[in-house]
Amino acid sequence: MPMTTDVLTAQELKKAAPVFGQLSFNDHEQIVFCNDKDTGLKAIIGIHNTVLGPALGGTRMWNYATEWDALNDVLRLSRGMTFKSAITGLNLGGGKAVIIGDAKTQKTPELMKRFGEFVHSLSGKYITAEDVGMETADMDLVKTVTPYVTGISESLGGAGNPSPITAYGVFMGMKAAVKEVFGSDSLEGRSVLVQGIGHVGEVLVDYITKEGGKVFIADINEARLEEVSKKYGATIFAGDDVYSAQVDVYAPCALGATINNDTIEKIQAKVIAGAANNQLADENVHGKRLQERGILYAPDFLINAGGIINVYAELENYGKDEIIRKAENIYDTTLEIFAKAAAENVTTHQAALKIALQRIADRKAQ
Whole-number Å distance between alpha carbons of 59 and 41: 13
Residue number with CB closer to ligand NAD (31 or 302): 302
Residue 33's DSSP bridge partners are 44
Residue number with CB closer to ligand NAD (6 or 222): 222
Identify residues 117-156 at the interface with ligand NAD (CB under 6 A): 131-132
Whole-number Å distance between alpha carbons of 202 and 330: 20
Q: Is 199 in the site for ligand NAD (CB under 6 A)?
A: yes
Q: Is 195 in the site for ligand NAD (CB under 6 A)?
A: yes
Q: Is 88 in the site for ligand NAD (CB under 6 A)?
A: no
Rounding to the nearest 10 degrees, give the CA dihedral for residues 111, 116, 119, 121: -100
Taking a C-beta distance cutoff of 8 angstroms, is the pair 96, 131 a contact?
Answer: yes
Q: Is 219 in the site for ligand NAD (CB under 6 A)?
A: yes
**Any idea what the Cα angle at residue 307 is, between residues 84 and 147, rounded to 5°?**
100
Residue number with CB closer to ligand NAD (58 or 116): 58
Q: How many CB atoms lie within 10 A of CB 227?
A: 14
Name the 3-class secondary structure at 56: strand
Q: Work out how close the CB of 98 gets to ligand NAD at its nearest, in angstroms, rounded to a whole number.
A: 11
Contact mark string toward ligand NAD, 302..341, x via CB under 6 A? --x--x----------------------------------
Ranked by CB distance to ligand NAD, the top (closest) residue is: 198
Please give the size of the binding site for ligand NAD, defined by CB under 6 A: 26
Q: Is 49 in the site for ligand NAD (CB under 6 A)?
A: no
> Which region, judged by CB under 6 A, interacts with ligand NAD, from 9-17, 111-119, 192-200, 358-366?
192-200
Name the 3-class secondary structure at 248: coil
Taking a C-beta distance cutoff of 8 angstroms, is the pair 153, 136 a contact?
Answer: yes
Using left for φ > 0, alpha for ψ between -120 and 50, and beta otherwise, residue 160 falls in left
Q: Which residues contact 352 (CB under 8 A, 6 or more apart)?
A: 83, 87, 299, 301, 302, 337
Q: Is 113 in the site for ligand NAD (CB under 6 A)?
A: no
Q: Is 275 in the site for ligand NAD (CB under 6 A)?
A: yes
Taking a C-beta distance cutoff of 8 angstroms, is the pair 237, 217 a contact?
Answer: yes
Q: Is 178 in the site for ligand NAD (CB under 6 A)?
A: no
Q: Work out how close the CB of 218 gets to ligand NAD at its nearest, in angstroms, rounded to a whole number.
A: 5
Active-site residue identified among 14, 37, 84, 96:
96
Q: Is 218 in the site for ligand NAD (CB under 6 A)?
A: yes
Residue number with CB closer to ligand NAD (146 or 277): 277
Query: DSSP letter string over 309-356?
Result: HHHHHHHHT--HHHHHHHHHTHHHHHHHHHHHHHHHT--HHHHHHHHH
Confirm whether 96 is a catalytic residue: yes
Residue number with CB closer to ligand NAD (153 or 186): 153
Residues near ligand NAD (CB under 6 A) are 131-132, 162-163, 166, 195-201, 218-221, 224, 253-256, 275-277, 304, 307
Residues with a catalytic annotation lie at 96
